[in-house]
């Protein structure tokens, strides 16, 4: 990869994440961490508003943008494949928005690239969640974004029912099922709940803020997933 291309990729990766570590960039770009540090310093010297420091991570200051980009044939095909694979598994609202976003992108592509994207022979069989699970996914997603606590009545795999007050942190798809990752106030720890086994879902008026040891980043570090 040419250095100019690598610098461009660093900007794209950092602006798409809340916090990006040098280790993450080095792995994605297949270069050394030392090279990443040098590239970051060069970008900052050129006026790119990258905040952060070595050993902590980097983020892009608000307001920075690049000129509109044109997708390559392969990038357009990747977008089509991603939406086709994701749409049957998403809640109805997100699925519709993904379809609309893809239509906007496809509509401005050059004819040859558009034809290649639309003719991509990659499809996903519609074996996603049932309507009740999709509705729960919508409510869980909205509660997570609003940082609103939830009260759940949950049926575990052994058939035992329990009531929990949780802080919803994120929804995860595991091939056949969706789970809610949350901080459980009853167990005082992270727990996962299969969305199709949530018998009752009540949104509480109480909101929550990030607390050390109880965040999505803490959960992802605990299970070895890059945050």
CATH number for 52: 1.10.10.10
Same domain, 92 and 163: no
Q: Is there a single domain that holds both residue 149 and residue 210?
A: yes
For the chain, how many residues are written?
227
Q: Do residue 112 and residue 135 come from a single domain?
A: no
- The per-residue pLDDT for 77 is 93
Structure tokens at 147: 């940082």
The 3-state secondary structure of the chain, one letter per residue: CCHHHHHHHHHHHHHCCCCECHHHHHHHHCCCHHHHHHHHHHHHHCCCCEEEECCCEEEECCCCCCCCCCCCHHHHHHHHHHHHHHHHHCCHHHHHHHHHHHHHHHHCCCHHHHHHHHCCCCCCCCCCCCHHHHHHHHHHHHHHHHCEEEEEEEECCCCCEEEEEEEEEEEEEECCEEEEEEEECCCCEEEEEEHHHEEEEEEEEEECCCCCCCCHHHHHHHCCCCC
Query: Long-range CB contacts (< 8 A, 24+ apart) of 155-160?
Result: 155/197, 155/199, 156/197, 157/197
31 is a domain residue: yes
Mark the ranges of the chain whose per-residue pLDDT is less than 70: 65-70, 225-227
Structure token digits, residue 157: 């795999």
State the Cα–Cα distance between residues 171 and 178, nearest whole angstrom. Answer: 7
Q: Which positions ≥6 away from 62 have C-beta within 8 Å?
A: none
Phi, psi of 42 (to 5 degrees): -65, -40
67 part of a folded domain: no
Domain membership flag for residue 42: yes
Asked if residue 82 and residue 32 are part of one domain, the reply reads: no
Query: What are the CA-CA distances from residue 7 to residues 48, 79, 96, 140, 205 (Å)?
Result: 11, 23, 34, 37, 45
Residue 164: CATH number of its domain:
2.30.30
Asked, for residue 126, whether it belongs to a domain, the answer is no
Residue 227: predicted pLDDT: 46
Q: What's the pLDDT score for residue 136?
A: 94
pLDDT of residue 66: 58
Q: 136 and 218 share a domain?
A: yes
Residue 24 counted as domain residue: yes
Question: Residue 66 domain-assigned?
Answer: no
217 and 162 part of one domain: yes
For the stretch 115-126, pLDDT in tens is 999 999 998 887
161 & 207 share domain: yes
- Total domains present in the chain: 3
Please report the pLDDT score of residue 55 as a whole number: 76
Q: Which domain holds residue 166?
A: 131-222
């Amino acid at each position: 990869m040419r250095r100019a291309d690598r610098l461009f990729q660093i900007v794209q990766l950092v602006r798409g994440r809340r916090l990006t570590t040098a280790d993450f960039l080095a792995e994605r770009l297949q270069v050394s961490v030392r090279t990443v540090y040098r590239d970051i310093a060069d970008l900052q010297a050129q006026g790119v508003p990258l905040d952060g420091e070595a050993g902590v991570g980097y983020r892009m200051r608000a307001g920075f943008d690049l000129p509109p980009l044109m997708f390559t044939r392969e990038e357009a095909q990747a977008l089509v494949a991603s939406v086709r694979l994701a749409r049957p598994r998403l809640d109805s609202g997100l699925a519709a928005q993904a379809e609309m976003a893809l239509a906007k992108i496809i509509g401005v592509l050059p004819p040859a690239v558009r034809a290649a994207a639309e003719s991509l022979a990659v499809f996903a069989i519609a074996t996603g969640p049932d309507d009740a699970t999709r509705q729960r996914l919508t409510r869980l997603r909205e509660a997570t974004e609003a940082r609103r606590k939830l009260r759940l009545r949950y049926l575990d795999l052994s058939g035992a029912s329990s009531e929990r007050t949780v802080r919803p942190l994120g929804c995860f798809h595991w091939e056949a099922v969706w789970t809610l990752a949350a901080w459980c106030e009853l167990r005082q720890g992270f727990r996962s709940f299969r969305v199709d086994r949530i018998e009752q879902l009540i949104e509480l008026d109480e909101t929550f803020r990030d607390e050390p040891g109880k965040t999505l980043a803490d959960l992802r570090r605990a299970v070895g997933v890059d945050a």
